[in-house]
């Protein structure tokens, strides 16, 4: 089922009360966003990179009424956030943060007590989907239906024990092995039957998505695997009136592509080839070192340029582009990913030119504010009865999920405009 989400609503209920943020995959990204929120709450750090906290809306007929998004729109306050999650390896957020090595000891020591208090629940895990990892803290349930029910119980227990008024779930787990949708993904009835028969085509991330939506918890997918971008999940989200979004956080190299490619198109400069390679040493890099998992990530990364350049409109400029993506696992780099881009363009009279980019970035530092924004905006959407696929959140994803047949524009500037347009429609006063 494909149904366009209602992207605006006349109601704007308050964002007060506790918001629980549940994170499947308590690894580098999840522990970094949790640590960052704790540090901001203590006045130790600023929420750099977070649109929800630092960007402004220009309101009024002439745009003269400029307000921070967090002041103009009824978002949950950072002091009202409660974190939880599941992980097959780390016992708590402090353990995850120390293992991933993203943050310094000095930054972790200042918030170590709070981080240690975010205890990971036992995960739904299947090594067939992430062969490079060995899950140890996993639910000992053979039935996928029982696993889904156990996650639903986890969600309700977390809601009750932490006295949360509302919940959201953001998938921060590893990239799963490549798969195509199958019959089990067609309808909710098909999926539930597949859970009960342990269908091999149902992955852990899909079980989390099902459990979240059945619990009326908004869900976003930060990895490139199939999770909510399936007919059965869209059907369930519309039925339960739950907002969903995905997929694959737009962080390092793809972020640069969505900035650079619109500029080339604006100048009507031709593109002949774009070669991208990455070296990465964290858990994500280790998982992507397996060809089945890399194929999932490759499909997400390769779709970006075509949707921006629209080769059907200018085949002479963009109809013959060699787009290549490589990822190499290199342990010494840890979470500090380096992306190299060799871009072959051509200009007046067809003369060739080259652009070289070397982006040495910190993957989880770029991803963490995306998780925060998505959690706050999905909660906002749920309170405004905006169910189904939230295309206005495409700004945050490499391969944005769409509800209808329209092609998603991956230009970060077009996506930013759409994000702000929807937020402006939700301003309370």
Tell me the torsion sign for CA atoms 31, 114, 379, 145.
positive
Calpha distance 125→134 (Å, rounded) = 9
In this structure, are 314 and 405 located in the same domain? no
Q: How many domains does the chain have?
A: 2
Which of 314, 343, 360 corresponds to the end of one domain? 360
pLDDT digits (tens, 9 = 90+) for 217-227: 999 999 999 99
Which of 333, 360, 387 corresponds to the end of one domain? 360
In this structure, are 231 and 263 located in the same domain? no
Calpha distance 183→190 (Å, rounded) = 7
Q: CATH number, domain at 182?
A: 3.40.50.720
Whether the CB-CB separation of 135 and 125 falls below 8 Å is answered with yes
What percentage of residues in the chain have a pLDDT greater than 90?
A: 77
In the block, residue with structure tokens 């990892």: 133
167 three-class SS? strand
Q: Assign residue 327 a region: left if phi > 0, alpha if psi is -120 to 50, beta otherwise?
A: beta
Tell me the torsion sign for CA atoms 378, 78, 373, 297.
negative
Residue 6 lies in a domain: no
Section 84-95 average pLDDT: 97
Residue 2 lies in a domain: no
Question: What pLDDT sits at residue 299?
Answer: 67
Give the range among 38-47, 73-82, 257-266, 331-340 with minimum mean pLDDT.
Answer: 331-340
Which of 338, 360, 382 corresponds to the end of one domain? 360
pLDDT digits (tens, 9 = 90+) for 275-300: 999 888 777 767 767 777 766 666 65
> Taking 60 as the threshold, does the pLDDT of residue 12 lie above it?
no
Cα atoms in the Cβ-side hemisphere of radius 13 Å centred on 280: 27
In this structure, are 118 and 218 located in the same domain? yes
Q: CATH number, domain at 292?
A: 3.30.360.10
Residue 137 lies in a domain: yes
CA distances to 23, 138, 232 from 192, rounded to whole Å, are: 23, 22, 9
In this structure, are 119 and 229 located in the same domain? yes
| Residue-range definition of the domain harbouring residue 66 | 19-249+364-425
What number of H helices and E strands is found in the chain?
17, 13
In this structure, are 330 and 191 located in the same domain? no
Average pLDDT across the chain, whole number: 92
In this structure, are 334 and 190 located in the same domain? no
């Amino acid at each position: 089922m494909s149904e366009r989400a209602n992207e605006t609503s006349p109601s704007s209920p308050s964002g007060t009360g506790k918001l629980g943020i549940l994170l499947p995959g308590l690894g580098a990204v999840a522990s970094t966003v949790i640590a960052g929120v704790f540090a901001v709450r203590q006045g130790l750090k600023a929420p750099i990179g977070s649109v929800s906290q630092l960007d402004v809306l220009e309101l009024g007929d002439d745009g003269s009424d400029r307000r921070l998004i967090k002041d103009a729109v009824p978002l949950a306050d950072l002091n009202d956030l409660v974190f939880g999650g599941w992980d097959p390896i780390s016992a708590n957020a402090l353990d995850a943060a120390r293992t991933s090595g993203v943050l310094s000891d000095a930054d972790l020591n200042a918030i170590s007590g709070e981080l240690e208090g975010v205890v990971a629940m036992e995960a739904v895990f299947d090594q067939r989907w992430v062969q490079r990892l060995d899950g140890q803290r996993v639910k000992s349930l053979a039935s996928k239906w029982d696993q889904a029910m156990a996650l639903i119980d986890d969600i309700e227990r977390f809601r009750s024990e932490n006295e949360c008024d509302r919940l959201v779930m953001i998938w921060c787990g590893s990239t799963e092995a490549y798969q195509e949708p199958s019959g089990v993904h067609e309808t909710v009835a098909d999926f539930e039957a597949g859970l009960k028969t342990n269908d091999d085509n149902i992955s852990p991330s899909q079980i989390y998505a099902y459990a979240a939506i059945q619990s009326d918890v908004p869900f976003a997918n930060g990895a490139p695997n199939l999770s909510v971008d399936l007919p059965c999940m869209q059907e369930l989200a519309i039925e339960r009136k739950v907002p969903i979004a995905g997929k694959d956080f737009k962080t390092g190299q793809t972020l640069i592509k969505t900035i650079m490619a619109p500029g080339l198109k604006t100048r009507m400069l031709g593109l002949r080839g774009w070669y991208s390679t990455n070296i990465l040493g964290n858990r994500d890099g280790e998982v992507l070192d397996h060809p089945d998992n890399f194929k999932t990530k490759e499909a997400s990364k390769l779709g970006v340029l075509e949707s921006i350049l629209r080769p059907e409109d200018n085949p002479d400029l963009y109809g013959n582009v060699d787009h290549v993506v490589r990822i190499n696992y290199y342990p010494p780099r840890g979470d500090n990913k380096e992306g190299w881009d060799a871009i072959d363009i051509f200009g007046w009279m067809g003369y060739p030119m080259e652009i070289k980019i070397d982006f040495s970035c910190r993957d989880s530092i770029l991803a963490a504010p995306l998780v925060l924004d998505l959690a706050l905006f999905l909660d906002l959407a749920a309170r405004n009865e905006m169910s189904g696929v939230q295309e206005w959140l495409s700004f945050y994803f490499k391969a944005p999920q769409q509800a209808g047949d329209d092609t998603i524009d991956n230009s970060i500037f077009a996506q930013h405009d759409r994000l702000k347009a929807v937020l402006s429609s939700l301003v309370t006063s």
